[in-house]
Structure 1
Amino acid sequence: MLIMKGFLAVLSFAAAVYYSGGFGSAAYKRPPPRETLFRPLLDALEDDDGTSPQQVHISLSGENNMRISWITSDSSPDVVYYGTSPGANTRSANGTIDRYDYLTYVSGEIHNVIIGPLTPDTVYYYRCGWISSTEFNFKTPPSQFPIKFAIIGDLGQTGWTNSTLQHISKSNYDILVLPGDLSYADFIQRLWDTFGRLVQPLASNRPWMVTQGNHEIEEIPILHSESFTSYNARWVMPYKESNSSSNLYYSFEVAGVHVVMLGSYTDFEPGSDQYRWVQADLNMVDRRKTPWLIVVVHAPWYNSNEAHQGESESVDMKKALEDLIYGARVDAVFAGHVHAYERFVRVYKDKADACGPVYITIGDGGNREGLASKYMDPQPKISAFREASFGHGQFEIFNATHGLWTWHRNDDDISVASDQIWLKSLASISACHDITA
């Protein structure tokens, strides 16, 4: 066991160096991160009674449905009791139970139950597994504008993570969007459990819609050849509902917004399953029904930070998909990966373009690797604002034409609105209607 722990520690270190650009690319120095929160969360896991629901989180699952996900150490029923009054869980639904193995680790029972149809903009109370278990609650998103998204990338499990989550909890958001790099478990599966514990207060209360990043890959040649094992088992997204064949890319619609979640670390070249899927998905978007169109991806296509320059997941994916994104008149593209914040003007083919998307890097949630503090000099003209600070973003869409984007810096644990811009939906700009890429 000690040998295995030592081996995993080496793997974790190697992954940290590789993922931060230390192997085969220009390294950059990050300031020291805050303390990790693993130990107390591990202690809490040891106190688990076996059948109590833990790591509870929710996600959208088609129109007016919600997926409830949780884990138990021992066997418990795959049922959710729910209703619109506290203590009166008069409806119920059953789901599925799964487990996964990773080297010597065996997960607890992973429960997934879809409940609905639900009424929009309504608070529901629910219990997982047993009618006597802890009661949680969530609010369904509205069916029409306004709607508010909280957006954070590269979250991790540090003091900065905790500060970011506290700020988001006070923002009265409807849906959280996370463009990859969730737990930073990096092969150590127990750290997926601590991450689930850390985010449960927020993730059990509002839907979290996520996509994968490089830290979710967790493939080990020979020893564990499958990629995304833990991510796919623990964070099931509505890919089947959006006609995708993979949990690594999907889309969803809510309150006049169509959101496309892409996978940076699965095939995206023309002819690939993802390319064909995103082409079909964008072609089916009805801008009369969803006047706002947003794309989320992990590795940024536009980036003036010294970190992660020249990576194929950015360069090649941009080359493969930018024409589709531009032709569909996507309003904004959110990315993570670079541990800093940056907002670009509307861009297409590396030039300002009034009909292109606004590209925003928001990989500053609070990870253990620290910030990417070095930017290219001079600042490109298409880069409107950039800063290496931890924080989060809020995108509040008020109607079919106007939305307000705000980036909040974590300044000494105080949330400070440091960058703000009004965006207008490209569907409402007549000059962009008939232009094709």
Structure 2
Amino acid sequence: MASSWRLLVQGLTSLVFLCAHADEYVRPPPSPLVLTAHGKPASHPQQVHISIVGEKNMRISWVTDDRTRPSVVEYGTSPGKYTASATGDHTTYSYFLYKSGAIHHATIGPLEPSTTYYYQCGKAGDEFTLRTPPARLPVEFVVIGDLGQTGWTASTLSHIAGGGDYDMLLLPGDLSYADTQQPLWDTFGRLVQPLASARPWMVTEGNHEIETLPVVEFAPFVAYNARWRMPHEESGSASNLYYSFDAAGGAAHVVMLGSYADFGEGSPQRAWLERDLAGVDRRRTPWLLALLHAPWYNTNQAHQGEGERMRRAMESLLYEARVDVVFSGHVHAYERFTRIYDNEADSRGPMYITIGDGGNREGLALKFIKGHKSAHLSEFREASFGHGRLRIVNETTAVWTWHRNDDQFATVRDEVWLHSLAAGEPAAAAGGRPVDEL
């Protein structure tokens, strides 16, 4: 009940603000890079981030400039009192004249759900705090894409931190915008550490993670794969570029797809996706989400048609599995579509949401195409920086809100209630329920 009142008050407050201030909003220009330094000893951990591994484990990842430090995490439920430890491994990589620090990964657990743990990495430096996700609904995801490390990125992160608690962050590609400048991976890791060390960050790759160069034969995704290790092996995937995981005790299944891994007929990714979706029991898992980088539906002038080949190859699989929502990035704006299948409105298809507006250095994609063939399917679109939140309330109902970065605070600019496709067709909107329920 308290949760419902919170959402109601938040929505009404945002509506009042929008009515009063809609004419005052000015679209933000690109912002300079924010380069976060590391002023601590080489033995101290930096760039700490966490990700879930299976139902009860958490992977802790960090970097030390001292490559001899142990890959060990000590942890417990009281500050400074560590009752367990886990030892992992570390790796390094080179890129031209750049050589990374030791990139450590250690998996801790089994952990209790909805529990705060205190931990230290490598027997040195600061103590960090994390909270494990819940074992049952409700669960809340923050969703941001095309993040980068600019002043607007810092604004987005501050709005997330100050916008109410959440359980996990999902990022559909384009993390650091290092683009072969490897020290930018380090500054990005330091920038996001306050949030990424406290809640799981589950990411998939974007085009800015590829980092190949003409003539010079650097393998793609070297930095991304070394630094952001995701639970692909645990989900039966042979590649860190696509994987899946469960949340809220299996009430939600999240599929992270790779826009830049082979996805055609006979490809390993397609074969994996078929197996993964076939293993989802919608009686046990009422919510099914998917994330990828290049959007399949897009009325913005930027990146037109870049997701079309993947859509043709994989859309039917998501439709047949009754995926509820597909999140994407790549286009530096926000856009929400109705439920779609094969370019037509379809109540059994996923809702498509583009959220590539985290704060990247390239600026916003300002131009939407009025006469675009998908314009009638696009229900809300705006070129502004921001982040989204998906709160799955129960087995049948969820609410999505998009929070625009509006100077000192985040404005709720878009809100829609969703009905799980596993629950069948939604009933007609009742009194008190927003009419834009999907």
TM-score, L = length of structure 2? 0.89
1:268 aligned to 2:260?
no
What is the Cα deviation at residue 208 of structure 1? 0.1
Equivalent position of 2:433 in the other structure: none
Equivalent position of 1:160 in the other structure: 152
Amino acid at match of 2:399: L
1:148 aligned to 2:143?
no
Deviations 1:386-421 (A, max 9, x none): 000000000000100000000000112320000000
Equivalent position of 2:186 in the other structure: 193
Equivalent position of 2:56 in the other structure: 64
1:139 aligned to 2:131?
yes
Equivalent position of 1:34 in the other structure: 31
What is the Cα deviation at residue 367 of structure 1? 0.3
Distance in structure 2 (CA, Å) of the matches to 1:368 and 1:296? 22
Distance in structure 1 (CA, Å) of the matches to 2:406 and 2:128? 31
Deviations 1:368-387 (A, max 9, x none): 00000000113611100000
Asked whether the equivalents of residues 103 and 224 of structure 1 are also in contact (C-alpha less than 8 Å), the reply is no
Amino acid at match of 1:145: L
Distance in structure 1 (CA, Å) of the matches to 2:176 and 2:203? 12
Alignment of 1:174-323 (within 5 A): 174-255=167-248, 256-311=251-306, 314-323=307-316
User: Does the residue aligned with 2:376 lie in a helix, a strand or coil?
Assistant: coil
Asked whether the equivalents of residues 103 and 223 of structure 1 are also in contact (C-alpha less than 8 Å), the reply is no
What is the Cα deviation at residue 31 of structure 1? 7.2
Distance in structure 2 (CA, Å) of the matches to 1:218 and 1:151? 24
Distance in structure 1 (CA, Å) of the matches to 2:52 and 2:282? 21
Equivalent position of 1:128 in the other structure: 121
Equivalent position of 1:353 in the other structure: 346
Amino acid at match of 2:158: Q
Deviations 1:88-147 (A, max 9, x none): 1111010001101111111000000000000000000000000x5311010000000000
| Equivalences, count | 395
Mean CA deviation greater in 148-157 or 84-93: 84-93
Amino acid at match of 2:222: T
Q: 1:412 to 1:430 in 2, by over 3 A?
A: closer
Equivalent position of 1:329 in the other structure: 322
What is the Cα deviation at residue 296 of structure 1? 0.2
What is the Cα deviation at residue 287 of structure 1? 1.0
User: Does the residue aligned with 1:294 lie in a helix, a strand or coil?
Assistant: strand
Q: 1:306 to 1:52 in 2, by over 3 A?
A: same
User: Does the residue aligned with 1:241 lie in a helix, a strand or coil?
Assistant: helix
Query: Over aligned residue pairs, what C-alpha RMSD do you find?
Result: 1.4
Distance in structure 2 (CA, Å) of the matches to 1:164 and 1:389? 11
Equivalent position of 2:402 in the other structure: 407
What is the Cα deviation at residue 270 of structure 1? 1.0
Equivalent position of 1:12 in the other structure: none
Asked whether the equivalents of residues 28 and 384 of structure 2 are also in contact (C-alpha less than 8 Å), the reply is no
Distance in structure 2 (CA, Å) of the matches to 1:127 and 1:67? 13
Amino acid at match of 1:161: T
Equivalent position of 1:428 in the other structure: 423
2:99 aligns with one of 99, 106, 119: 106
Asked whether the equivalents of residues 179 and 336 of structure 1 are also in contact (C-alpha less than 8 Å), the reply is yes
What is the Cα deviation at residue 218 of structure 1? 0.1
Amino acid at match of 1:315: E
Distance in structure 2 (CA, Å) of the matches to 1:32 and 1:301? 27
Distance in structure 1 (CA, Å) of the matches to 2:121 and 2:109? 15
2:335 aligns with one of 333, 342, 345: 342
1:373 aligns with one of 363, 366, 371: 366
Deviations 1:247-271 (A, max 9, x none): 0000000111000000001100010
Distance in structure 2 (CA, Å) of the matches to 1:128 and 1:413? 34
Amino acid at match of 2:95: Y
Mean CA deviation greater in 404-413 or 371-380: 371-380
User: Does the residue aligned with 1:237 lie in a helix, a strand or coil?
Assistant: coil
Distance in structure 2 (CA, Å) of the matches to 1:98 and 1:260? 27
Distance in structure 2 (CA, Å) of the matches to 1:399 and 1:303? 30
What is the Cα deviation at residue 430 of structure 1? 5.4
Equivalent position of 2:4 in the other structure: none
User: Does the residue aligned with 1:381 lie in a helix, a strand or coil?
Assistant: helix
Q: 1:117 to 1:271 in 2, by over 3 A?
A: same
Amino acid at match of 2:297: Y
Alignment of 1:386-401 (within 5 A): 386-401=381-396
What is the Cα deviation at residue 310 of structure 1? 2.1
Specify every segment of 5 or more residues in structure 2 that has no aligned partner in the other structure, as ranges.
1-26, 427-438
Amino acid at match of 2:245: F
User: Does the residue aligned with 1:198 lie in a helix, a strand or coil?
Assistant: helix
Amino acid at match of 2:131: K
Distance in structure 1 (CA, Å) of the matches to 2:208 and 2:116? 34
Deviations 1:257-314 (A, max 9, x none): 0000000011000100000001110110111221100000000000000100022xx0
